Amino acid sequence: MLDAIERRITTDPTAAGGVVDLTEIVRLADLDGGRPAHLLRLGLVIDALARHMSDGGVAVYPVAQRALLSDTDLTANERMVIRRWSDDGKVEVLRMGGPPAIQRIREVAALTGLPLLSRQPGGYPGLTYAPVPTANGPALSPQQLGPGPAAPAAALGRKWRCPEPGCASFGPPGAREPDPFGPQSDEPPGEPGSQPPPQLVNGVPQCPRHGAPLRDTGPVPRAVTVVIRVKGVAWHRLVVTEAAPVTVGRSPEEPGGVGIGLALDERGLRWVSRSHVRLELHGSALQVTDTSTNGTTVLLRTGPVESVRRAPLVRGEGTTLGEWDTVELYEGVELARADRAAGPIAGAPTNSVMADAPTQAIRLS
Ligand SMILES: [Zn+2]
């Protein structure tokens, strides 16, 4: 069960769909009515996020106070597991005496644009959901849907190195666990998709684990994760970087292209072009260009539940996508930012990390 959770936690922003303070999450006892602190509550929140996004592959980015490693409300085994996750770079455990985790998760959310999953938004203006108990199990309740934070800081366009040997966040290449959801493109095998954002202290990038100023080792292309949804359900995740545009279509010939033929019915196969759209990232702006024969429509939305305005793309002309916009390739087949979704879709498979652990197991233990 903890293995299933382990596969869905990461400090790679391109694989994550939300940021959590693990110190807060383990104590949300009303989610299951069990003991004061329980590590499996992280699984309940991952499942709630997967349902909300209709994305069975989405992970969370957990941050924790160092004190959690000695919190005796957790079992010795749970503390050991969190320590191992931290050593593997899957949980960001903060240094003693630094800014608290509730502050760091707001920073990570602001820098990456990932939703904040917390009951303590503390005035954070960007997208925030609170994990709450419902009759159908834990769910995400929208707290703040306003405009996302401003464009990510310039610090994200640089590769950083921590002076601490073996740092799990900013170590030398190969120091972090390979991420199953990272980009498969040009990265050598075993390299993570994207570095965690540095902690900015008076504008100086620091390691959140060690408090040391980070060394700038050169530029790194920014990245954004896009999801292909079929009838609203996540079908495939792909990473677009500033260095590598991605073509999506029936079966694109471009290197790194993503083919969606398997998601199309017979009519769709005739409608969707071999190379239908090209996605490019410029700074933090995701741009889409129609390269198809039959055309592409952008569904413009100002928020997750706002009404939709349809705007056909002009062939060959790049258009910047808004935070909540989706690109329709064919009826029911849409591309969108992977960290934005209107809400759960009834009957969507969730790929639960708690499959082996009915909620009662938390109560009993
Ligand atoms: Zn470090």
Q: What digits encode the pLDDT tens for the residues 31-59?
A: 999 999 999 999 999 999 999 999 999 99
Residue 139 lies in a domain: no
Residue 155 lies in a domain: no
**Which residue, 63, 61, 55, is CA-closest to 16?**
61
* Whole-number pLDDT of residue 192: 45
Distance 53 CA to ligand 1 centre (A): 32
* Whole-number pLDDT of residue 175: 56
Distance 239 CA to ligand 1 centre (A): 26
* Whole-number pLDDT of residue 184: 43
C-alpha dihedral sign at 10, 41, 28, 66: negative
Which residues, in sequence order, are CB contacts of 144 under 8 Å at separation 6+? 121, 124, 125, 126, 127, 128
Distance 168 CA to ligand 1 centre (A): 7
Distance 86 CA to ligand 1 centre (A): 12
Residue 328 lies in a domain: yes
Distance 201 CA to ligand 1 centre (A): 14
Q: What digits encode the pLDDT tens for the residues 196-218?
A: 999 999 889 999 999 999 999 99
Distance 69 CA to ligand 1 centre (A): 17
Q: What is the mean pLDDT of the chain?
A: 90
User: Per-10-residue mean pLDDT for the chain, 365 residues long?
Assistant: 93 96 97 94 96 95 97 97 96 94 95 95 93 94 80 79 94 61 42 81 93 94 94 95 95 96 96 98 94 97 90 96 95 95 83 72 51
* Whole-number pLDDT of residue 363: 56
Residue 319 lies in a domain: yes
**Which residue, 303, 300, 338, is CA-closest to 126?**
303
Burial 196-217, CB ≥16 within 10 A → b, else e: bbbbeeeeebbbbbbbeebeee
Residue 266 lies in a domain: yes
Residue 67 lies in a domain: no
Distance 187 CA to ligand 1 centre (A): 22
Distance 24 CA to ligand 1 centre (A): 23
- Identify the CATH number of the domain in which residue 240 sits: 2.60.200.20
Residue 55 lies in a domain: no
pTM above 0.75, yes or no: yes
Give the C-alpha distances (Å, rounded to integers) separating 142 from 9, 119, 152, 342: 22, 10, 22, 10
In 190-295, at which residue ranges do the beta strands (DSSP E only) sit?
199-201, 204-206, 215-219, 223-230, 233-241, 246-249, 258-259, 277-282, 285-290
Which DSSP state fits 155? Answer: G
* Whole-number pLDDT of residue 152: 58
Distance 232 CA to ligand 1 centre (A): 39
> Do 58 and 50 meet the contact criterion of CB atoms below 8 Å apart?
yes
Distance 313 CA to ligand 1 centre (A): 45
Residue 280 lies in a domain: yes
Distance 7 CA to ligand 1 centre (A): 23
> Do 114 and 132 meet the contact criterion of CB atoms below 8 Å apart?
no
For residue 286, give its domain range. 223-337
* Whole-number pLDDT of residue 185: 40
Structural domains of the chain, count: 1
